[in-house]
Amino acid sequence: MIKSVLIFNNHGKPRITKFYQQIDIGTQQALLQEIYSLVSKRPDTACNFLEGSQMLGGKDTRVIYRHYATLYFVFVVDESESELGILDLIQVFVESLDRCFENVCELDLIFHFEEVHHILSEVISGGMVLETNISEIVSAYSEANKLKKRSGAIATISGSGAGAVARDLGANLANTVTSTLQNTLQTTVSATFPTFRRNTGFNT
Amino acid sequence: MFEKSLTDLIRGIRANKKNEQKYIAACLQEIHQEIKSNDPDIKAQAVSKLSYLQMIGYDMSWASFHVVEVMSSPKFSQKLTGYLAATQSFRQDTDVLMLTTNLLKKDLASGNHLEVGIALNGLSHIVTPDLARDLCQDLVSMLSHSRPYVRKKVVLVLYKLFLKFPEALRLSFPRLKERLDDSDPSVICAVVNVICELARKNPKNYLSLAPQLFKLLNTSSNNWMLIKIIKLFGALTPLEPRLAKKLLPPITQQIQTTSAMSLLYECIHTVIIGEMLTSGGNSDALAAMCVSKLKIFLEDPDQNLKYVGLLALSKILPAYPKLVAENRDIILKCIDDHDISIRLRALDLVVGMVNKKNLTDIVKRLMSHLLPSNNNNESSTLPSTLLEPAYRADIINRIIFICSQNSYSNILNFEWYIAVLVDLTYVAGVNVGELLTTQIMDVGVRVKSVRQYCVKAMQRLLSDSSLLENCQFPESNSEVLYAAAWITGEFCSYLETPTDAIGYFVQPGVTKLPHNVQAVYIQSVLKVYAYWANSLSYNWDEDSKQELLRFTEMIKDKISMFCSSTDLEVQERAYNAREIFSIIHQNLSTTHETTFDVENNIYSSTNKSPSIISELYPLFFSYELNPVAPKAQKKVPVPEGLDLDAWINEPLPESENSESEEEEESYGYGYTQKFGGSGDLIFSSGTAIGRRRDRKSSKKGYNSEEDEETKEKVTINSFCI
């Protein structure tokens, strides 16, 4: 089971928090802070498995993360998940985001947090992996997006213009993401993609 | 329309970094109004803003009812907003959940599969036992929904239902099982996922699925699912040994051919934890193959692969230590890795790999982690975690553990170990004083051959003024002075210059030490003094008498500094000691044991020292302290006819107690005969150390007259302060 998915930036600001177990809001914030403080200390050359969490202690819990440009993607999972598999799953999620937002960057996640949640819900449902095929994920999302527009959405992705700012800054994740993998799970697991780690950081 | 949109809110927060809280408080005020609006758009917008604020730590449980309102909106986008808010904020005890049953029923029956999808995802978060019971039937029938998009979601939601309403499992399992033959790979994958989770709790019940899963293992090319199936078999094979034989060919095949490292890793992992190495016929070949594949992981420059490789090795370690030992060099290299996660995993392995030959080398490597790096370039690349107290304490604990495990069986040279412990005192940088103290005491007492060296090493600690100066910081580990003082006192016969040792005990600043350490200091002063004074008496002459007088005077003064201690134990001991010194001093200066030498017509001292000096010595050193096995007493047969519970003398009436004291004093302090083995190393498991007190005297528990007297003075004095 996946216990939680957290996305936060280099300064520890949460972008998405998803807990698949019901945890009170104070603990959620404390967990976020603890994981941030541990993860942010690690150099990008270190492995993607985090140790030393006090709150998440317990043999059964693993913290697996990836660092893309300005963002950390952190998955908290239990023993039934494959460590290397989860690393790939993070990659699948990020690639899906990249396709849905067309060159995703941190600002996209900030201003479209509902959409990001929606994409995540097409990858993971109730803490279990729902879909690992990126095209399936993307098509489910865009289908829903069309329906949303028809039903008169408050804000649509292309509307809010946050992306434009970021693109000017040239700090989108897309440059870093693309290329490498066609289909992670089918080919290999990967593990490290040094190019993703390029830190083009813009501060938010 | 002046309401802020979600985008406005986010922009506003980013623009008000300095007074973020104030800004959000104002926004929340507006949201409170907006959420009551009759306009569903405004209401949905307010809920959407709340979901965002929930992420950064603002409670939104008060808005639950409005969330349900938005969930029931006919507009798709608003429904999405509502369900998201529910998944983020609802708890098991959220009271409006009971209002959602019909809403969910309606949405699940929707003609639009996307709406169904939203409802299913929402349900996976908010399901309660009641909801599970009421919706169970609906969901089971949805397992044959025309769209795979819905089917895969239903399968996963069912697992959540089982957790809340176990009855549902029985009702739906046959239907769920059918889905293993679904036409859509994602649905099959979802079913495998659910079965894996179920089997984790109760593997036995799912053995019957083995043939179907086995077929999938051979036919599927979905690595994600293969990983899950292989993991599941890892849990099943220990229950059904025949499975192992059947599984070996396909798993071996995967190990040899797969290019996905994750799958390869899980195959090896399953071979290990599924106990397949022991059951198969050609298990040696398989084991060798696993180890050679793991070597690829360990040697890979990718840190992640290295990490999981170590993880797998640590699982092999208990059953196949030899296989792990083959990779010793790589593992030792990993101890020095710059990545803390890898170090810790490697440390786990090292602890299991230690033997007599490599112990010193491994300890040396571990110790080097504690030392500040000499090379400046190197230190800058070291992650800061290495300096963290938790990591340092972990390293030290492991050093002590690997050295002391199995009654120190890996240590060939105890002098080396004492030196390590002393070094640790200085380099630790974290509070491990208690651990070091116990270790030094334990080794010092149990290993006779090391005592001389140990006493010498302890002198170094005692004479170190930096330990004294920093004793108020727990990380200075000045607590080891407890062991240093005790060892010095007990084994003072190894001291070259006992007077120096006494000097260390009463040097300025010792009163700042922890009270328990001070108490040992005072006792040790007495012990060393008794030993030294006694040794003087062998060559007793006027000179030695003068020396003793002078020294006793000095020590009597110095010991007074403990008398004003706030700790009662220290104070009592200090008064005791001072009294003993003043009695001796008085005794020495008043008794002139001289005889008139008639021939030479002069007075000359006799060669006999005052009896008080020779009497002090047996007080502390009558019998040697030796290790005693906790069960040793039982091994001594009780001589025939001896009743240990019978009184030797009839107990005396209370009033006569004081009179009889003098008579029985002789064994008031006595230690029993040397007990236990006298070998150099006595290492029975759990050896206890102790001097047995005389059974009878301890039963009665009285003090000698001298003690009583001092006690009185102490009480008086302590009240005078």
DSSP one-letter string for B476-500 = G-TTHHHHHHHHHHHTGGG-S-HHH
- Measured distance CA(B246)–CA(B213) in Å, rounded: 12
Question: What chain B residue is nearest to A160 in terms of C-alpha separation?
Answer: B7
Q: Is the pLDDT of residue B46 over 50?
A: yes
> Where exactly are the structural domains of chain B?
554-636+664-720
Q: Does any CB of chain A come closer than 8 Å to the CB of residue B608? A: no
- Eight-state DSSP code of residue B4: P
- Measured distance CA(B540)–CA(B559) in Å, rounded: 25
Q: Does any CB of chain B come closer than 8 Å to the CB of residue A42? A: yes
CB within 8 Å: B41 and A154? yes
Q: Domains (ranges, CATH) in chain A?
A: 2-180 (3.30.450.60)
- State pLDDT tens for residues B631-663: 888 888 888 888 888 888 888 776 544 444 444
Between A185 and A144, where is the model more confident? A144
Give ∠ CA B82-B84-B87 in degrees, rounded to 5: 110
Q: Does any CB of chain B come closer than 8 Å to the CB of residue A143? A: yes
Cα distance from B86 to chain A (closest Cα, Å)? 11
Q: Which amino acid, one-letter code, is at B310?
A: L
pLDDT band at B720 (very low <50, low <70, confident <90, very high): very low
Res B387: pLDDT: 64
pLDDT band at B115 (very low <50, low <70, confident <90, very high): very high
Query: Out of B395-404, B497-506, B584-593, which region has the weakest mean confidence (pLDDT)?
Result: B584-593
Q: Is the pLDDT of residue A164 over 70?
A: no
pLDDT band at B455 (very low <50, low <70, confident <90, very high): very high
Q: What is the mean pLDDT of residues B256-264?
A: 88
Q: Cα B142 from chain centroid?
A: 50
- Measured distance CA(A174)–CA(A68) in Å, rounded: 10
- Measured distance CA(B304)–CA(A190) in Å, rounded: 9
Contact residues, chain B, for A83 at CB < 8 Å: 262, 265, 304, 307-308, 311
Between positions 28 and 57 of B, the ones with CB within 8 A of A are 41, 44-45, 48, 51-52, 54-57
Between B201 and B717, where is the model more confident? B201
Query: Out of A140-154, B86-100, B643-657, which region has the weakest mean confidence (pLDDT)?
Result: B643-657
Q: Quote the tokens at residue B635.
A: 């091994």
Res A166: pLDDT: 36
pLDDT band at B680 (very low <50, low <70, confident <90, very high): very low
Query: Out of A110-124, A185-199, B355-369, which region has the weakest mean confidence (pLDDT)?
Result: A185-199
Q: Quote the tokens at residue B509.
A: 């600043």
Q: Is the pLDDT of residue A186 over 50?
A: no
Between B246 and B105, where is the model more confident? B105
Res A149: pLDDT: 83
Between B372 and B341, where is the model more confident? B341
Strand-pairing partners, residue A72, are A8, A67
Q: What is the mean pLDDT of residues B64-68?
A: 94
Q: Does any CB of chain B come closer than 8 Å to the CB of residue A132? A: yes
CB within 8 Å: B156 and A126? yes
| Region of B490 on the Ramachandran plot (φ > 0 left; ψ -120 to 50 alpha; else beta) | alpha
Comparing CB atoms, the residue among A18, A29, A85 nearest residue B227 is A85
Q: Quote the tokens at residue B358.
A: 């490599």
pLDDT band at B601 (very low <50, low <70, confident <90, very high): low
Contact residues, chain A, for B220 at CB < 8 Å: none
What value does the mean pLDDT of chain A take?
A: 76
- Measured distance CA(B258)–CA(A95) in Å, rounded: 24
Q: Is the pLDDT of residue A66 over 70?
A: yes
Res B246: pLDDT: 86
Give ∠ CA B638-B644-B645 in degrees, rounded to 5: 150
- Measured distance CA(A107)–CA(A36) in Å, rounded: 19
- State pLDDT tens for residues B380-406: 444 445 567 878 888 899 999 999 988
Q: Does any CB of chain B come closer than 8 Å to the CB of residue A23? A: no
pLDDT band at B258 (very low <50, low <70, confident <90, very high): confident
Strand-pairing partners, residue A74, are A6, A65
Q: Cα B53 from chain centroid?
A: 38
pLDDT band at B330 (very low <50, low <70, confident <90, very high): confident
| Residue B428 and residue B387 in contact, taking contact as beta carbons nearer than 8 Å | no
Between A22 and B593, where is the model more confident? A22
CB within 8 Å: B156 and A125? yes
Res B588: pLDDT: 84
What value does the mean pLDDT of chain B take?
A: 82
CB within 8 Å: A84 and B308? yes
